[in-house]
Amino acid sequence: MRQINIKTMVNEAKLSTFHYRILLVCALIIAFDGYDLTVSGVALPWIMKEMAINATYAGVLISSALVGMMVGNIVFGTVADKIGRQKIIVLCILLCSVFTAAAGFCKEPVSFSAARFIAGLGLGGAMPNVVSLMTEYSPVRIRNALVTSVFSGFSLGGLLAAGLGKGLIESYGWQSVFIAAAAPVLLIPMIWKSTPESIPFLIRGGRIDELKKIASRVDGQYRPNSDDRFVENHLEAASEAPVRQLFQQERGLSTLMFWMACFICLFTVYGLSSWLIKLMAGAGYSNASALTFMVVMNLGGVCGVLIGGVLADRLGIKCVLMGMFVLAAVSIILLGVRAPTILVYVWIAIAGACTIGTQNLINAYAGQFYPIHIRTTGVGWVLGVGRAGAILSPVAIGMLVHMGLSREQYFLAIGIPSFAAAIAITLIDNIRSDLPAPDGNANLSDERAVVRAQT
C-alpha cells in the first residue's frame, strides 16, 4: 500500500494548467464581488434622484447588501468546512447574480434593499470559500502571489462597473447595470466543473477516485495505483464548534487582531467605493469626471493586488501589510488637501492599491494562518466581522455628507483608522500557521519531507 501525503504534494508542486484553471475561476468569482460593490456607488447619484432619498438614507440602502455579506461570510464560511466548498460556491453565485439583477427591477427603497441583502448573502459566502480553495491548492513558495492574484478580479469587476456604468446608465437607465449582473448564471456549469473540492473533505468522505484525479493534476509524475491511501498530516475532522477553535492553541489575540484589521480595511474600501464619486463631485468635479477617479482607484487596486502578493512572498506578508496600511492612511488624508489634478490621481491610485490590495493580503494572511480544518470558518469570520466596518462606513460617511462637513474632514474620517489597523497587524502571532519561515520553508513542523510512498 502506498501512503500519499497529498498536502506535501500540493506544497511542493510546480505550477501547471491545474493551478491556472483554479486561479482563473476564483478570479472570475471575485470579479462578481467587485462588480457588485462598485455598481452601487456608480449608480448612487441616479438612484438617489429617482427614489428621492437623502444621503443618510442612501448609505442605509448601500449597507443592506453589506449586512447580507456579513451574514453570508459567517454562515456559508462555517457551513462549508462541514459540507464542502464546491456546492456552497455555486449556490452563492446563483444568489448573487439573480438578486443583484432583481434589484434593477425595484422601484422603491424597501424592495431594493431586500434584493441587495439576499444578493449580499451570496457575495459574502463566496469570498471565504474562494480564499480557502486557492490557499489549499497553491504551492507554498508562491502562495501569497497566487491568492492575491485571485483578487485582481475584484478590481477588474470594479473597473467593468465603472467603465460601462456611464454608457449603460445614460442609454438604458441605472437599472441596466444591475440587470447585467445576471450574466454569471450562464457560467455556473463551467465553474462547477473547474472547481475541485477541499482535500480534507474528500479524504473524510473516502472519495479516493477524485483524490487520484486531483493528485495527477497537481503532480504530473504521479501515477495512481489501486491501493493508494491518501493522508494529510494532522488531519482533523470538522469540529462541531469550529468558531471556538479560532481562539484555541494561542490563536485568540491574533484572531481579534485579524477582525480589527479587516473591520478597518473594509470600512475604508467601502467608504471610498460608495462615496468617492459623490465626494469628488462635491469638490467641484462633474459626475462623469468623478467616474474617472473610480476607474483610477480600481486600476490602483489591481496593481496593489499583484505587487503586494509578490512582495509578501519575498519580504513577508506581515511586513508588507503594515507598510500598505500606513500608505493607505497617508494617501487618503491627502485627498482632502487641494492639489493639482495629476496629484489627485496619484493619491487615488495609491489609495486603491493600499486599500483593495491590503484587504486581499488580509484574506491571504488569514487563509494561511488558520489550520485547514477550520480555514474557511476562520476566513469567514474575519470577513464577517470586517463587514461590520463595510456596513458602518456608507452610513457614517453619508451622515457626514448630510452634515455638510469639509472635504478635509471627510477624508480624515476615512483615512486615519488605517494607522490603527497597522498596529493590529503587528500584534498577530504567526505561531502554528502555514506561512513561509525566514529560511523560505513553510512552518509546517513535521511536513518538511517530500511525499513518501510506503509499501
pLDDT class of 355 with cuts at 50, 70, 90 = very high
Closest-CA residue to 118 (of 82, 76, 78): 76
pLDDT class of 434 with cuts at 50, 70, 90 = low
3 bridge partner residues: 229
pLDDT surpasses 60 at 143: yes
pLDDT class of 232 with cuts at 50, 70, 90 = low
Name the residue with higher pLDDT: 177 or 206. 177
pLDDT surpasses 70 at 234: no
Element (H or E) spanning 405, and its range? none
Residue keyed to cell 441596466: 176
Least confident of 46-60, 324-338, 353-367, 416-430: 46-60
Q: Enter the DSSP assignment of 4.
A: E
User: What's the pLDDT tens digit per position in 54-112?
Assistant: 777 777 787 788 788 889 888 888 788 778 888 899 999 999 999 999 998 988 888 99
CB 217 within 8 A of CB 18: yes
pLDDT class of 354 with cuts at 50, 70, 90 = very high
Quick one: what percent of the chain has pLDDT higher than 90?
19
Task: Please indicate, yes or no, if residue 76 is contained in any of the structural domains.
Answer: yes
Task: Please indicate, yes or no, if residue 447 is contained in any of the structural domains.
Answer: no
- 384 vs 77: CA distance, rounded Å: 9
CATH number, domain with residue 105: 1.20.1250.20
Alpha carbon 99 to its chain centroid, in Å, reads 20
User: What's the pLDDT tens digit per position in 393-407?
Assistant: 877 877 877 777 777
pLDDT surpasses 60 at 149: yes
Give the DSSP letter string of 221-265: T----TT-EEE-TT--PPPS-HHHHTTTTTTHHHHHHHHHHHHHH
Measured over the CA atoms of residue 40, residue 44, residue 49 and residue 54, the dihedral's sign is positive
Task: Please indicate, yes or no, if residue 451 is contained in any of the structural domains.
Answer: no
Residue 102 domain boundaries: 3-426
Closest-CA residue to 270 (of 64, 128, 101, 95): 64
Task: Please indicate, yes or no, if residue 455 is contained in any of the structural domains.
Answer: no
Which pLDDT score is estimated for 292? Answer: 81
Task: Please indicate, yes or no, if residue 90 is contained in any of the structural domains.
Answer: yes
pTM of the model: 0.71
User: What's the pLDDT tens digit per position in 271-302?
Assistant: 887 777 777 777 677 666 667 887 888 888 88
Which pLDDT score is estimated for 207? Answer: 83
Element (H or E) spanning 3, and its range? strand 3-5
- 273 vs 438: CA distance, rounded Å: 36
Task: Please indicate, yes or no, if residue 454 is contained in any of the structural domains.
Answer: no
pLDDT class of 433 with cuts at 50, 70, 90 = low
Tell me the three cell numbers of residue 231. 493522508
CB 270 within 8 A of CB 389: yes
* 352-376 average pLDDT score: 86
Tell me the three cell numbers of residue 227. 491501493
- Determine the longest span between alpha carbons in the chain, in angstroms: 75
Q: Could you tell me which residues come within 8 angstroms of residue 28 by beta carbon, excluding any fewer than 6 positions away?
A: 153, 187, 191
Which pLDDT score is estimated for 241? Answer: 57
Alpha carbon 146 to its chain centroid, in Å, reads 13
Indicate the number of domains in the chain. 1
Alpha carbon 309 to its chain centroid, in Å, reads 14
Task: Please indicate, yes or no, if residue 437 is contained in any of the structural domains.
Answer: no
pLDDT surpasses 90 at 320: yes
Greatest mean pLDDT range, 32-46, 120-134, 265-279, 423-437: 120-134
Tell me the three cell numbers of residue 44. 448612487
pLDDT class of 447 with cuts at 50, 70, 90 = very low
